Structure 1
Amino acid sequence: MSDSVIRSAREEDLEGIWAMLEPVFAAGETYTVDPDIDRAGALSYWTGGKKVFVVERNGELLGTYYIVRNQKGGGSHVCNCGFVTAAAAQGLGVARMMLEHSLETAKADGFRAMQFNFVVASNKRAVEIWQRYGFDIVGRLPEAFHHPRDGYVDALVMYRKL
Structure 2
Amino acid sequence: MIEIRKAQGSDFQQIWTILQEVFQKGDTYAFFPNITKEEVFQIWMEIPLATYVAVENELIRGTYYLKPNQPGLGSHVCNVGYAVSSNVRGKGIGRLMCEHSLNEAKAYAFKAMQYNYVVSTNQAAVELWKKCGFKIVGTLPKAFNHKEKGLVDAFVMYQWFN
Using the size of structure 1 for normalisation, the TM-score is 0.97
Residue deviations 1:53-110 (CA, integer Å, cap 9, x gap): 0000110110000000000111110000000001111111000000000000000100
How many Å separate the matches in 1 of 2:26 and 2:148? 10
Partner residue, 1:69:
68
Aligned ranges 1:1-162 → 2 under 5 Å: 3-50=1-48, 51-162=50-161
Q: Percent identity?
A: 44
How many Å separate the matches in 1 of 2:53 and 2:5? 6
Q: Which amino acid aligns with 1:40?
A: E
How many Å separate the matches in 1 of 2:77 and 2:84? 23
CA deviation after TM superposition for structure 1 residue 8, in Å: 0.4
How many Å separate the matches in 2 of 1:114 and 1:151? 28
CA deviation after TM superposition for structure 1 residue 43, in Å: 1.7
Q: Which amino acid aligns with 2:83?
A: V
Unaligned segments of structure 2, at least 5 residues: none
Q: Which amino acid aligns with 2:17?
A: A
Residue deviations 1:3-24 (CA, integer Å, cap 9, x gap): 1100000011010000100011
CA deviation after TM superposition for structure 1 residue 48, in Å: 2.2
Unaligned segments of structure 1, at least 5 residues: none
Using the size of structure 2 for normalisation, the TM-score is 0.97
